Amino acid sequence: MLDYLELEDDLTGEEKLVRDEARRFVEEKVKPDIGDHFEQGTFPTDLIPEMGELGFYAPNLDGHGLPGLGERAYGLLMQELEAGDSGLRSMASVQGSLVIYPIHAFGSEEQKERWLPALGNGEAVGCFGLTEPQHGSNPAGMETRAEKDADGYVLNGSKTWITNSPIADVAVVWARDTSAGGSPVRGFLVETDRDGVTTNKIDDKLSMRASVTGEIGLDDVWVSDDDVLPGVEGMKGPLSCLTQARFGISWGVVGAARDAFEDALQYAKDREQFGGPIARFQLQQGKFAEMATQITNAQLQAHRLAELKERGDLRHQHVSMAKRHNVRVARDVTRTAREVLGGNGITTDYSPMRHMENIETVYTYEGTDDIHTLVIGADLTGIEAFE
Ligand code: FAD
């Protein structure tokens, strides 16, 4: 596997174990039929509990059955999962960074006891409801409302593009609490079988096909006071979750790029044209040199992010830079890799085009490339381009 600057020589024994276990899981359980799932638009749901047993959900957190691994181990896990498919890494990102993390960071002791063990071992599936039909890049404009009643809240609104909502047991729904001054955003744990909740599936996706995506409709849905995340108020609630998930994406997409690169390299050595392997042509070698350099630069950013996170110095702007850069790399590399495969490259028999299509989603979700560009620009100039 491409590790040109030998970054993985510095891994600890534990980190190597995590990487190897995830790599084996992907080789044995994911790769054999991920192409079929992509074609059929299905997620391999039978793998959800197995991923839980293997500790793939929020292993960088501790307590309530979570193992408390380091940030680099977590990053390596995301990298290996996304080498399988971005849908697989999305499953682990949503469950870990967007559902387990907010309960772990902002939940009451009762909420933690109730949800963390079940989410951690994959018995329960969670989803994260922030985006709305009219509010994507600007989630602060959200219209979903929580109105206070005697001992709870009544939720109304709709969320869309929600990974896993049709298969989720619980949704972390972000809504404005109209009972408090300034209607601050608060997080609500909403079981999806409550009266008034609908979770329609979004079909016809041309990207991230091996992942279930849906809406969350909230029509007078009652939740108790005990279902509100007590430890956070305002946009820092959802935004802090997104920083966690984007850290995982910065690592994950390196896996997609690397897998596409490896497929193309093998193909170029095997495929013969004009009396020998296409890998001997200088034009092809130029592509491999460029892809390997780009992937290596992305690996360097990912490894550095983990160091900064581990020592508590990671700023969300650092994560914006790595998310933006590494997704761009994955976008370029998967397209070039597909090109090397010629006609065979447009089938699901090889990974590059599937990864390439998935990356269009990754380029857009968790902050589009444009939004991260503006975050970095604001950090550098001190001038916000948008509110
Ligand atoms: P818009 O915000 O309408 O943006 C459209 C275009 O305008 C983009 O190119 C954008 O960069 C550009 N733009 C917007 N504002 C600016 C600006 N200020 N300056 C310059 N350009 C700008 N959301 C969740 O809450 N939970 C999930 O689990 C989830 N999963 C998803 C899964 C998939 C498969 C997809 C596709 C999306 C998912 N999302 C999820 C939603 C995702 O986060 C949004 O699609 C994303 O934030 C962009 O919002 P939008 O699609 O409304 O695009």
Considering its fold, how many domains does the chain have in total? 3
pLDDT by residue for the chain (387 residues), tens digit each? 999 999 999 999 999 999 999 999 999 999 999 999 999 999 999 999 999 999 999 999 999 999 999 999 999 999 999 999 999 999 999 999 999 999 999 999 999 999 999 999 999 999 999 999 999 999 999 999 999 999 999 999 999 999 999 999 999 999 999 999 999 999 999 999 999 999 999 999 999 999 999 999 999 999 999 999 999 999 999 999 999 999 999 999 999 999 999 999 999 999 999 999 999 999 999 999 999 999 999 999 999 999 999 999 999 999 999 999 999 999 999 999 999 999 999 999 999 999 999 999 999 999 999 999 999 999 999 999 987
| Nearest CA among 30, 33, 24 for reference residue 348 | 33
**Does 100 share its domain with 145?**
no
Strands (E), the chain: 62-63, 66-67, 126-129, 145-149, 152-163, 170-177, 185-191, 197-198, 213-224, 272-273, 276-277
* DSSP alpha helix (H) spans, 311-351: 316-340
**Does 179 share its domain with 149?**
yes
Q: What is the CATH number of the domain that holds 106?
A: 1.10.540.10
Among the candidates 173, 198, 233, a domain finishes at 233
**Does 143 share its domain with 157?**
yes
**387 falls within a domain:** no
Domain holding 334, by residue range, is 236-381
**204 falls within a domain:** yes
Question: Model-level pTM?
Answer: 0.98
**Does 320 share its domain with 214?**
no
Among the candidates 233, 254, 269, a domain finishes at 233
- C-alpha of residue 286 to centroid of ligand 1, in Å: 34
- Is 366 assigned a catalytic role? yes
- C-alpha of residue 162 to centroid of ligand 1, in Å: 11
**Does 26 share its domain with 119?**
yes
Pocket test for ligand 1, best of 143, 165, 365, 375 (most atoms within 8 A of CB): 365
Atom of ligand 1 nearest to the CA of 367: 47
| Nearest CA among 132, 146, 101, 138 for reference residue 216 | 132
| Nearest CA among 31, 116, 130, 93 for reference residue 253 | 93
Among the candidates 75, 103, 126, a domain finishes at 126
**CA-to-CA distance for 91 and 127, rounded, in angstroms?**
9
**2 falls within a domain:** no
Parallel, antiparallel, or unpaired for β 197-198 and 170-177? unpaired
Q: What is the CATH number of the domain that holds 146?
A: 2.40.110.10
pLDDT for res 28 = 98
**Does 245 share its domain with 367?**
yes
**CA-to-CA distance for 157 and 169, rounded, in angstroms?**
19
**Does 353 share its domain with 308?**
yes
**Does 251 share its domain with 315?**
yes
Atom of ligand 1 nearest to the CA of 385: 18
- C-alpha of residue 362 to centroid of ligand 1, in Å: 10
* Complex ipTM: 0.99
**Does 287 share its domain with 344?**
yes
Nearest CA to ligand 1 atom 17: 371
Strand partners, 163: 213
